[in-house]
Amino acid sequence: MNSRLSYFTAGREGIWSIRDVREITGKGLSIEKRLNITTLPPAGNEKWTLRGIRSNERYTTTEEKSQLIEKQEDLGRPDSKFAVLIPIKKTEEWWQLSQDRRREIFEEQSKHTSTGMRYLPAIARRLYHCRDLGTNEPFDFLTWFEFSPGEQDRFDTLLSELRASLEWTFVDREVEIRLQR
C-alpha cells in the first residue's frame, strides 16, 4: 500500500540540502544539513522531524478540482531543483469556525486556491495534514512546494500574496524551510 503518511527529518541524510530555515511566525526550527523524506519514522538520531498525512480535500469544489487537475504537473520533475517546506499551525479560533465560514475566508475572501492556480504548473504543491494525527502535533499542515530555480522570484510573490490574505490572520506559527536538490 502506498503510505499516505510521510516524515520530514532534518539531519545528515536525504537528497534535499537545507539552504535556509526562516521563522515567519512563532518559534522556528534549527538549520540542519539535509532533509530526508520517508514513509517510516526516523531511527531516533534526528535533529527534528515533522510528519503529515495526505488526506481528502477540505475546501476544494468540483470545479476547482478539475481546473487543478488540468493545470498541475507531478512532483519530481527534473527541473524542480528547489523545494520549500512550510509547516503551519492555525489558531484555535480558526478551528472553531464552521465549515462554511472557513471556506468563505479560505477562498471567497483570501483566494487561496485561485492564487495558487495562477502559479501552476511552474510551482507544484502538495499538502500534508498533521492536526488529526494526534493530540499534540506542533503544526496543523505541511505544504511542500517544488519549482525550478528560475521560478524563485515568482514563488516569493506567491508567498507574499498568501501571507497578505485574511486567512493568514489565523496563522499562529509558520516556518519556511528552503531546500535544494
From 24, 53, 120, 159, residue interacting with a second copy (rule: CB under 8 A): 53
Q: Tell me the Ramachandran region of residue 87: left when phi exceeds 0, alpha when psi lies from -120 to 50, beta otherwise.
A: beta
Binding mask 119-148 for a second copy (x = CB under 8 A): ----------x-xxxxxx------------
Contact by Cβ (8 Å): 77, 124 = yes
Check residue 69 for interaction with a second copy (CB under 8 A).
no
Stretch binding a second copy (CB under 8 A), from 29-37, 55-63, 72-80, 148-156: 55-63
The region of 2-10, 74-82, 142-150, 162-170 touching a second copy under the rule CB under 8 A is 2-10
Measured from the CB of residue 112, what is the shortest distance to a second copy in angstroms?
Answer: 13
Question: Do 180 and 19 touch, CB atoms closer than 8 A?
Answer: yes
Minimum distance from residue 94 beta carbon to a second copy (Å)? 8
Pairing relationship of beta strands 16-25 and 141-147 according to DSSP bridges: unpaired
The verdict on 58 binding a second copy (CB under 8 A) reads: yes
State the chain's maximal CA–CA distance in angstroms: 45
Binding mask 82-101 vs a second copy (x if CB under 8 A, - otherwise)?
-------------xxxxxxx
* Residue 52 DSSP label: E
Of 40, 39, 10, the residue nearest 175 (C-alpha): 10
The reply on whether position 172 binds a second copy by CB under 8 A is no
Please name the residue ranges forming H helices in the chain: 62-71, 92-96, 99-103, 112-118, 152-163
Cβ closest to a second copy, residue 17 vs residue 39: 39
* Nearer to a second copy among residue 30 and residue 98 (C-beta): 98
Residue 52 amino acid letter: G
Q: Counting contacts by CB under 8 A, is residue 25 touching a second copy?
A: no
